[in-house]
Amino acid sequence: MKFRKLIMLPGPTNVPDRVMNAMLTPVMGHRTPDFASVIKNISEKSKQVFQTSGDVVLFTASGTGGVEAAITNIIKKGDKAIVTNYGEFGERAGHMVEGAGGILIKVDAAFGDAPRISQLEEAYEKNKNIKALVIVTNETSTGTSFKWLKQAGDLASKYGSFLILDAVSGLGGDNIPVDEIGADVVATASQKCLAAPAGLALVSLSEKARKYVVNNPPPLLYFNISRQLKYLETGQTPFTPALPIYHALDEALTMVLEEGIQKRIKRHEICADAFYSSFESIGLELFAKKDVRSNTVIAAKYPSNVDDKQFREDLDKQYRVVIAGGFGSYKGKIFRVGSMGEVNKYHVITTISAINQTLNAMTGKLTKKDPLEIAKSRLDNL
């Protein structure tokens, strides 16, 4: 396919033309002053977006690569880590802790819910010498968020743990003020709320984390943060970076800062609210519990007679609207709409309209309420 579709996935997301076009910046040497200034620009802008004074390093990798870097640079053999487990990405984080030789202490919540602070406190009380608390800030797989980051930061600080955040589908759309939270290592990716193409993972480091990783580098090369920090000083990366994605991310970060972080987060909140309200108005059951609903990934259950594959195919073929299905055991049972990055009135209205008409056609039932009216009323503030 060569024509453009409306990408309402929980990543990759729609990328603005000026960001796409930045990829055509002529090839440059990655160890030249030309590229050092690109790295410097990205570094400075990233710090603002992460709301941190710490360094942000970049890996040519997916978000999962960034989270693996975060975890494997902190967790060593025998180290205990508490990990929030409420979806696919919590499971991955747990897998990484164990892969690094650590001892995994899972804090579970049912899919559609999120662990509560009291559960984390309990885990701390039951276990001693916790090296790290690992929190998935937003569960892309279920459309739920962990909403108590500041309290989690206080808890990690009280017990002397590192706080590691998988903020892949949150940062840039949710308010994640890294320094204020007291988060030590925070990973995100280019293709989610930052609205750049996929290919780069960004990882921030507190002063405490920086000291630790420099003195305790992991045995392998690629996800070695210490090596990254050393090269960052001279405006380089240890290994050849995905240059076009750097140029795109540089432009995307400029757009984030032009809009302003707080305004961007507000926009995400408003769009998510419009999705939730209009879905409810046409009788769709939302998957996430109300108080942990995600601002960036909207998950809803299918009416019993709607086939996932057919539904998403119709949306794609007839409306060029691309949304995601469920993960793992929720495959076929829920659909997920990514409401992140560039998401705005047009995206929300078009998506709701396409979903409503497709559901009507498939179920043969016309909803009494017009979800567009409801969505539009919620979008007034944009």
Contacting residues toward a copy of itself, per CB under 8 A: 1-5, 7, 9, 11-15, 20-21, 23-32, 34, 60-65, 68, 72, 92, 95-96, 98-101, 189, 191, 197-200, 218-223, 238-245, 248, 316, 322, 324
Spell out the residues 6+ positions from residue 145 whose beta carbon is closer than 8 angstroms to its own: 114, 137, 138, 139, 170, 174, 292, 293, 294, 295
Number of H helices, E strands in the chain: 14, 14
For 205, the 3-state DSSP assignment is strand
Nearest to 85, CA basis, from 126, 132, 135, 128: 135
Q: Taking the CA of residue 269 as centre, how many other CA atoms within 13 Å lie in the half-sphere pointing to its CB?
A: 10
Q: Which residue's CB is nearer to a copy of itself, number 153 or number 172?
A: 172
**Min dist. Cβ of residue 98 to a copy of itself (A):** 7
- Sort residue 182 into left (φ over 0), alpha (ψ -120 to 50) or beta: left
Q: Which residue's CB is nearer to a copy of itself, number 100 or number 120?
A: 100
**Which single residue is written with the structure tokens 């500041």?**
150
Q: Which residue's CB is nearer to a copy of itself, number 32 or number 310?
A: 32
Q: Which residue's CB is nearer to a copy of itself, number 84 or number 206?
A: 84
Omega of the bond prior to 12 within 30 degrees of 0, cis?
A: yes
Cα-Cα end-to-end distance for the chain = 32
CB 86 within 8 A of CB 109: yes
**Min dist. Cβ of residue 125 to a copy of itself (A):** 29
**Min dist. Cβ of residue 47 to a copy of itself (A):** 23
**Min dist. Cβ of residue 292 to a copy of itself (A):** 24
- Kindly state the tokens that stand for 44: 């400075």
**Min dist. Cβ of residue 253 to a copy of itself (A):** 17
**Min dist. Cβ of residue 354 to a copy of itself (A):** 15
The Cα 86–Cα 65 span in angstroms is 20
Q: Which residue's CB is nearer to a copy of itself, number 313 or number 373?
A: 313
Q: Degrees (nearest 5) of the Cα angle 299, 305, 311?
A: 55
Q: Which residue's CB is nearer to a copy of itself, number 116 or number 312?
A: 312
**Min dist. Cβ of residue 376 to a copy of itself (A):** 26
**Min dist. Cβ of residue 321 to a copy of itself (A):** 11
Q: Which residue's CB is nearer to a copy of itself, number 7 or number 152?
A: 7
